[in-house]
Structure 1
Amino acid sequence: MIDNSHLELMNVAPEGVAVYQTVPYVPGFRVDAGHILQAIEQLEHCALALSAGGMDVIGQAGTPFSFAHDDGLAWARKMQARLEEVAQKPVTMMGLSIIDALKSCGYESVAVASTYYSDDLCARYTRFLDDAGFRVLTLKNWIHQGLLPDRRLLEQPRYWYPNSLAYQSARAVAEESPEADCILLTGGAVHTMDIIAALEADLQKPVITSDSAFFWSLLTKLGVKERLDGWGELLSRLCPQG
């Protein structure tokens, strides 16, 4: 597996923040619950390797790692605590960072653009958000929205998708559920940081993405207080207004 979130974080983080990565290895990996659960078996080893390498905070990239297990939210909380115990460092799981970011902002309802997730992952994600106390007003992937014509395109192993699909998807769920407190654009393989500010201006509504929530959590745990403008409302909250 390869994840490029660390490269996105290097573009967002203030000077002085260094980012390193190690990855679990699952032959023939696909973004589905079975392969994700295999990768999860290696997370403790990855966390130990990064801790031994001197990292101050450890992040697990990949939103579905938090909800691929049948026990969903409760399991993810236990896994994050377990990784912190093993590594003796603060740990952020991407999926849990979204929950924490939504709660921190006081949002109660969401319209979700679930991008390249399969129907199974969409169902698991809906339960995950519901268990966390959020009202999911709509949750659609690119196939549901007609943005991709063939489900097989979602099954191919890819770790990057065009921002244009993500933008269209977020606009569509916002139009479908205008009463939503927030638009949630999920999927770590969609590099969203360059489009969040434009989406918020377009939709006149806050937008939280997998990457923005992940970076918000990591930088908060690092103690970063520098205001980060231009990346959406969430990251501007790192530093108090005024």
Structure 2
Amino acid sequence: MSKPVKWSDPDHKLFPYQVGFTGPPKDWDAAPSDFLRMSPDSVGVHGRLLHTPEYAHTLEQRANNFHLLEDYVHTMSEAGADVVGQVGTNWVHANGTDHDDIVRFTTEMSEKYETPFHMAGLTLVQACQALGYEKIALNSVYFWPDWRDGVVRFLRSAGIDVVWAGNFVDQGFFDDQQIVNDHTWIFPGDLAARSFSYVAEEAPNVDAILVNGMCNFRGESGQPQRMVHRVAEMEALVETPILAADCTLYWAIYRTLGIGPVGSGNGSLLDSLRPPGDELA
């Protein structure tokens, strides 16, 4: 199924670089705002949440609604997106799928709708592969145990050595998962440093620390912030590269577009996309 021919003419586009995002049902997604905030003026962003009325965040519901991802790619392609991204790490493993399965799926969607399609969980692997990171620790932050275990299985299916993995309960910061769930992915700002320090102590000799999901820590003003706002600070704290799922998704999208974020301070991965010596590119 071809993308409408009119989008091959730049005069028909609102922006030279048009990016689509989708996120899980019933979650306000910060990705469009975060990505646009760090991008050049030549980038336009459009968001489209997946819609499942009875959604309760279970892996089974993700598996049963996996087909919605194709509908999303198709819709964004018809609207002239140059690249589309999917937020939410769990979707790559919810069907019992492994790395090779998701590579096939994203390739098929990209080719069918003539629009490159990136899934957040897969970009974690792709960033490790691009940087030569083989041995990692996984900070699973707020993830439910079956979500955590699914991400570990997916990473290992790509040949990545996951030497340690744990969520906030495993790390001892909350007594049970329900308390974590009640925070709706938003946590006190100081938990970021405590959590990453814990992971670094548990796995001191890894190539990188990976972070799944859409975790938010409150900034100084109280505003919830995704990892892209905190990753540079955490890397300096633990002296280890950190690959968070939001950052790896943005990294993959920028690489597809052939551009990078404006300025620096977005962590080592995104900062690597700036031209050498150019602080404003």
Q: Structure 2-normalised TM-score?
A: 0.80
Structure 2 residue 120 is matched with structure 1 residue 85 = no
2:136 maps to 110
- The within-5 A match list for 1:138-217 is 138-156=164-182, 158=184, 160-190=186-216, 191-217=226-252
Tell me how many residue pairs correspond in the alignment: 242
In terms of fraction of residues, the more helix-rich structure is 1
1:44 maps to 70
Q: How far apart are residue 227 of structure 1 and its match? A: 6.5
Unaligned stretches of 5+ residues in structure 1 = none
Q: How far apart are residue 8 of structure 1 and its match? A: 1.5
Q: Hey, what's the Cα distance between the residues in 1 that align with 2:87 and 2:270? A: 18
Q: How far apart are residue 187 of structure 1 and its match? A: 1.0
Q: Secondary structure at the match of 2:47?
A: coil
Q: How far apart are residue 216 of structure 1 and its match? A: 0.3
Cα offsets for 1:127-165 (capped at 9, x unmatched): 111111111111000111121223113445935444543
Query: For the Cα contact (< 8 Å) 1:167–1:199, is it kept in 2?
Result: yes
- The residue identity in structure 1 corresponding to 2:151 is Y
Q: How far apart are residue 173 of structure 1 and its match? A: 0.8
1:9 maps to 35
Which ranges of 4 or more aligned residues in structure 1 deviate by more than 6 Å? Answer: none
Query: For the Cα contact (< 8 Å) 1:227–1:238, is it kept in 2?
Result: no
Query: For the Cα contact (< 8 Å) 2:196–2:238, is it kept in 1?
Result: no
Q: Secondary structure at the match of 2:227?
A: coil
Q: For the aligned residues, what is the CA RMSD?
A: 1.9
Query: For the Cα contact (< 8 Å) 2:38–2:261, is it kept in 1?
Result: no
Q: Taking every aligned residue pair, what percent have the same amino acid on both sides?
A: 28
- The residue identity in structure 1 corresponding to 2:165 is L
Q: Structure 1-normalised TM-score?
A: 0.92
- Over 3 Å counting, the alpha-carbon distance change for 1:161 and 1:187 in structure 2 is farther
Larger radius of gyration: 2
Q: Secondary structure at the match of 1:40?
A: coil
Query: For the Cα contact (< 8 Å) 1:181–1:206, is it kept in 2?
Result: yes
Query: For the Cα contact (< 8 Å) 1:64–1:121, is it kept in 2?
Result: yes
Q: Hey, what's the Cα distance between the residues in 2 that align with 1:78 and 1:62? A: 18
Task: Judge which range, 51-60 or 76-85, deviates more.
Answer: 76-85
Q: How far apart are residue 186 of structure 1 and its match? A: 1.6
Task: Judge which range, 92-101 or 25-34, deviates more.
Answer: 25-34
- The residue identity in structure 1 corresponding to 2:87 is A
In terms of fraction of residues, the more strand-rich structure is 2
- Over 3 Å counting, the alpha-carbon distance change for 1:36 and 1:161 in structure 2 is farther
- The residue identity in structure 2 corresponding to 1:138 is W
Q: Hey, what's the Cα distance between the residues in 2 that align with 1:69 and 1:201? A: 36
Cα offsets for 1:62-84 (capped at 9, x unmatched): 11111212132222112212221
Unaligned stretches of 5+ residues in structure 2 = 1-24, 217-225
- Over 3 Å counting, the alpha-carbon distance change for 1:55 and 1:31 in structure 2 is same
- The residue identity in structure 2 corresponding to 1:178 is P
- Over 3 Å counting, the alpha-carbon distance change for 1:6 and 1:221 in structure 2 is same
Query: For the Cα contact (< 8 Å) 1:163–1:192, is it kept in 2?
Result: no
Task: Judge which range, 49-58 or 149-158, deviates more.
Answer: 149-158
Q: Secondary structure at the match of 2:243?
A: strand
Query: For the Cα contact (< 8 Å) 1:112–1:170, is it kept in 2?
Result: no
- Over 3 Å counting, the alpha-carbon distance change for 1:24 and 1:226 in structure 2 is closer
